[in-house]
């Protein structure tokens, strides 16, 4: 892509050409965006097991990784340095990592500890026999990892806004896990997430809980924050004194981090959605839920998540069909309602993929 593809001025800009949503070449090229920070797990997920293979990350960027929590937490390669067996096949609790193929054993920091039948091997072990460590970032109780470099991300700025939530104290609720297959390109799922413009048309139930006129979108380097205001009397956050949004009834903070991660903060807790690209016309969406106050889960904007998801999938799948039309290539953005979508497309256009 080239930066000129999406005009910087939203009032003049045209949307992403439809080939980006349909063609294998474009799909393959865009895979490069998934090597930066990706959501791995919330701290509470270590309560049941100290070793967690990150299967969703393998589906996203092809890298088999492990989160290991001992005296410190590490993100390690999940591939044995002997002949390439995958080490942990499911979450487990262990003091060492032992390969099930020929018994090579690693400490929880990835250092090779023992290997049978290698006494006569020369120059063994060497650093190359340890498991590779990948970058790990802990932010508000959420772990992120990257397979290439440590890209800049707006962690501090977001923490000023959301830090009051004490997300690290939330509890993982596997009952909220979802794995949705969607017959649409992953970009369409993100585009749809980045605007509240469609709420009155597509989500009648959610529209009842949100004050549409008060819906705002803020764009920044690396993401978009949308803020849903509660209708009067509905459940809203208790904002501390001095908070930038003090005095407002906020029903939800919808945070998107480039390219595929959505963090939906509600008074009951946090719903994380991760979009996994599958093919030019298919993606998967994983839901993970972390609960602060289960009593609030039946109220307000955060109470109708499955209904909203079904409605979004319906509209996205119809748009995917529209993308193959000869009569459609590009549209225009609403300057007042589609700043988030425009911002995402500008980010993509600047990547020179
Ligand atoms: S592949 Fe792991 S010990 Fe052989
Ligand atoms: Fe929606």
- Domain 37-150 annotated CATH 3.40.950.10: no
Q: Give yes or no for a contact between 343 and 221, defined as CB atoms under 8 angstroms apart.
A: no
Among the bound ligands, the one closest to the CA of 80: 1
Residues 6 or more apart whose CB falls under 8 angstroms from that of 203 comprise: 304, 307, 308, 311, 312
Among the bound ligands, the one closest to the CA of 205: 2
Identify the residues whose C-beta falls under 6 Å from ligand 1. 80, 82-85, 99, 101-104
Render each residue's pLDDT in the chain as its tens digit; 353 residues.
899 999 999 999 999 999 999 999 999 999 999 999 999 999 999 999 999 999 999 999 999 999 999 889 999 999 999 999 999 999 999 999 999 999 999 999 999 999 999 999 999 999 999 999 999 999 999 999 999 978 888 999 999 999 999 999 999 999 999 999 999 999 999 999 999 999 999 999 999 999 999 999 999 999 999 999 999 888 999 999 999 999 999 999 999 999 999 999 999 999 999 999 999 999 999 999 999 999 998 888 888 889 999 999 999 999 999 999 999 999 999 999 999 999 999 999 999 77
Question: Which atom of ligand 1 has the smallest separation from the CA of 104?
Answer: 3
Distance 203 CA to ligand 2 centre (A): 7
Question: Which atom of ligand 1 has the smallest separation from the CA of 87?
Answer: 2
SS3 211: coil
Residue ranges covered by each domain of the chain: 1-34+154-353, 37-150
Question: Cα dist. 124→97, 109, 171, 231, 285 in Å?
Answer: 19, 19, 43, 66, 43
**Atom 4 of ligand 1: nearest residue by CA position:** 102
Among the bound ligands, the one closest to the CA of 194: 2
The Cα 81–Cα 324 span in angstroms is 45
CATH assignment of 1-34+154-353?
A: 3.90.380.10
């Amino acid at each position: 892509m080239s930066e000129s593809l999406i005009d910087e001025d939203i009032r003049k800009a045209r949307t992403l050409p439809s080939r980006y949503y349909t063609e294998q070449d474009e799909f393959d090229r865009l895979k490069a965006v998934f090597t930066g920070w990706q959501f791995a797990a919330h701290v509470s997920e270590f309560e049941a097991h100290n070793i967690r293979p990150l299967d969703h990350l393998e589906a996203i960027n092809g890298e088999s990784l492990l989160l290991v929590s001992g005296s410190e937490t590490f993100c390690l390669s999940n591939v044995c340095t002997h002949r390439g067996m995958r080490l942990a096949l499911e979450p487990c609790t262990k003091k060492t990592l032992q390969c099930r193929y020929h018994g090579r054993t690693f400490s929880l920091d990835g250092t090779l500890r023992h290997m049978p039948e290698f006494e006569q091997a020369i120059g063994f072990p060497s650093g190359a026999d340890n498991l590779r460590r990948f970058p790990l970032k802990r932010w508000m109780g959420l772990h992120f990892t990257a397979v290439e470099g440590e890209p800049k991300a707006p962690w501090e700025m977001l923490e000023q806004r959301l830090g009051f939530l004490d997300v690290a104290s939330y509890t993982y609720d596997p009952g909220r896990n979802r794995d949705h297959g969607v017959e649409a390109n992953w970009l369409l799922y993100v585009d749809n997430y980045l605007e509240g413009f469609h709420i009155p048309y597509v989500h009648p139930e959610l529209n009842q809980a949100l004050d549409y006129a008060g819906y705002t979108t803020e764009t920044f380097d690396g993401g978009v924050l949308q803020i849903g205001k509660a209708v009067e009397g509905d459940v809203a956050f208790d904002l501390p004194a001095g908070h930038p949004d003090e005095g407002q009834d906020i029903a939800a903070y919808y945070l998107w981090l480039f390219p595929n991660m959505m963090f939906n903060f509600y008074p009951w807790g946090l719903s994380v959605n991760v979009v996994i690209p599958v093919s030019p016309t298919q993606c998967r969406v994983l839901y993970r839920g972390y609960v602060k106050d289960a009593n609030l889960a039946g109220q307000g904007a955060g109470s109708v998540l499955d209904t909203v998801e079904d409605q979004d999938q319906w509209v996205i799948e119809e748009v995917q069909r529209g993308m193959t039309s000869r009569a459609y290539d590009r549209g225009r953005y609403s300057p007042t309602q589609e700043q988030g979508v425009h911002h995402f497309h500008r980010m993509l256009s600047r990547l020179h993929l």
